[in-house]
Amino acid sequence: MTPGLQLANPLVAAAATAIRRSVDALIAMQHEQGYWWGELTADTTLESDYILLQLWLHPPRNGIWNPPHRDLIERAVRSILDRQLPGGGFNIYPHGPAEISATVKAYFALKLAGLPYDGPELSGARARILELGGIHAANSYVKVNLSLFGLYPRELCPSIPPEMMLLPGNFIYQMSSWTRAIVVPLAIVHAANPRRPVPSGFTLEELFVPKDPPRRSAPVLSWRNLFLQVDRMLKLWEKYGSRRLRDKAVRRAGQWFLERTRYSDGLGAIYPPMMYSIMALDVLGYPPGHPDRAEAERQFEGLMVDDGRRFFFQPCFSPVWDTAIVAFALGEAGIAPRDSLRRAADWLLSKEVRRRGDWSVKRPETPPSGWYFEFANEFYPDIDDSAMVLLALSHARASHELAHNACVQRALHWLLEMQSKDGGWAAFDVDNDWRPLSHVPFADHNAMLDPTCPDITGRVLEGLIASGISRNHPAIRRGVDYLVRNQEQDGSWYGRWGVDYVYGTFLALRGLRAAGVSSREAFVLRAGEWLRSIQNADGGWGESCASYDNNSFTAAPSTPSQTAWAVLGLLASGDDRSISLQKGIEYLLETQRRDGTWEEDLATGTGFPRVFYLTYHLYRNSFPLLALAVYARTKGEAGQASRPGVWMHPEKLA
């Protein structure tokens, strides 16, 4: 533990005990190769889409559907039903309300699997769908998927033209990396207009409300109306346009996505692109035994968790992310075995990206570096992971010092080059913020772009400075200015990749503190006051995914991860002695289990705001350890400071 720690303080002494238990628990979870890897779970749409894919791959014969993996389909059905809400619908985050797209997908999957039409499961889901506006109210991707089987009118689906691959100006790179990975293979499938068969008599007509589908109103002169007109022209093009040009576009799209399956665990190493790539390979004529198709199916099936007790699909794997967070928390605790951290550092160094990916389109002169999220995803290193890995490597030293230092220097250069014009950092790309694209008809997954955000910017500032970049570096000053400009009126910051304002606020404050911003600045004081104002009565903090729907903080029951974020935010704001901070620490101590872990069942991670949320199953253990470690160190340092209670710059605490 940090020298000078005042164990006479009972709360600090209790924190020290909790830290030791937590460290022991996390060390026991480390894999032999040096990494940590927690489960990543989402909603029922993944299992529903799996059943849809089985219908695609194994169509009915003579009107009868008899898929070869009936046992897996039955387990997927049970997994879906286990999460059906009392009102019949399905939600997209734990304890959330029924959501139309998830419920339509579940209804399709359950009916296809053979559940009785008049049974309580389908009857309840059907009633809830109609209450929510019917099948027309589902998002574009649900409609496109169903149109592939003739279950939704294709003319009412947005066009996804493969010809976008031929547009000038690197058009597809104006979309976010994950959107690109989804729409390129889907465009191939959509262009084929396959009309795959369904079992005899199977229909979803009962989900159509007896009125025209709702249409979003928009001013006559608007991007929305412009793209709607373009969509109408594209539908005419599909009927009467050049076959030669379309074939060229399809070939280009196929080459593009196949190239991005190399050095990767599937296209984008995430669920929707991996599923659509299988369908696209099928459309392109790749037989089941072809190596590319067999590998695509193998990677997709690898996302399945089927241990005899549970069945679900993970949207992707998160080992680099999990390892970086845990290693940083262990390093901050100061008592982790050096060998454990060394093995983690060695493994992280082995995952550094050394090939150019999509990011290089806008940074062609920048040497490759950075880290991805998964086990392998060379085309898509992300800025957030890279900053988190740098923080981990500030504590964890690899076996070879020269290799370690060279890797850090490459990553620092890459991160500095990936700063956007507005001074912030995004997830995968630079200046990916052409807002008109958010109005294209298939953009209702709410993640068409990858703009800069406060949470990543705060973490990058902290990672850069922890790795030796001067606080006076122009990139640091621009990042600080970005955070100050983007603070919400109530004092919080928006969190794009974690739920939501608590997440954004804690990371913004840590970035500002690392950059040397005084805790007496008005915007820092307002942020600390905001965190204290939203604390729950039990001493913890909790925030609902509904914050994204409401565009403001929405309270929820306390969680260990969000409580840890709030505690870290308070400490970064200079608060080391408030009652609010004390109660937050007490909450973490009281909710820790005897084995050193915490329990949490809410989604605190964000995939696509308002559309897709994630539960990171290591968050509940890694972030509380980090919060307790920083608290214990801060109290020890405050006890040595000449003016207790005043936040000191990190260099003064050396």
The dihedral built from the CA positions of residue 25, 30, 32 and 34, taken in this order, carries a sign that is negative
Taking CA atoms, 244 is separated from 183, 240, 241, 511, 616, in Å, by 21, 12, 9, 53, 46
Q: What is the CA radius of gyration of the chain?
A: 25
Q: Please report, to the nearest 10 degrees, the dihedral formed by the alpha carbons of residues 483, 484, 487, 490 taken in order.
A: 150
CA–CA separation, 378 and 264 (whole Å): 6
CA–CA separation, 612 and 102 (whole Å): 10
Half-sphere exposure of 626 (CA within 13 A, CB side): 30
3-state secondary structure of 597: coil
Residue 610's nearest CA partner among 197, 101, 69, 34 is: 101
Q: Is 384 a catalytic residue?
A: yes
C-beta separation of 141 from 442 below 8 A: yes
Torsion angles phi and psi, residue 334, rounded to 5? 80, 5
> Which is catalytic among the residues 384, 429, 444, 576?
384
C-beta separation of 467 from 413 below 8 A: no
C-beta separation of 578 from 532 below 8 A: yes
DSSP H stretches of helix in 486-609: 501-514, 522-533, 546-550, 560-572, 579-591
- DSSP codes joined into one string, 99-151: -HHHHHHHHHHHHHTT--TTSHHHHHHHHHHHHTT-GGGS-HHHHHHHHTTTS
Torsion angles phi and psi, residue 555, rounded to 5? -70, 155
CA–CA separation, 327 and 408 (whole Å): 16
- 3-state secondary structure string across 422-444: CCCCCCCCCCECCHHHHHCCCCC
Pairing outcome for strands 612-616 and 40-41: antiparallel
Q: Dig out the tokens for 152 from the structure.
A: 């939704």
Please, what is the angle between helix 140-147 and helix 177-192, to 10°? 30
Residue 507's nearest CA partner among 449, 570, 458 is: 458
CA–CA separation, 55 and 53 (whole Å): 5
Element (H, E) at 226: helix 223-240
Instruction: Say if residue 405 is exposed, middle or buried (CB neighbours under 10 Å; 0-12, 13-18, 19+).
Output: middle
Residues with catalytic roles? 384
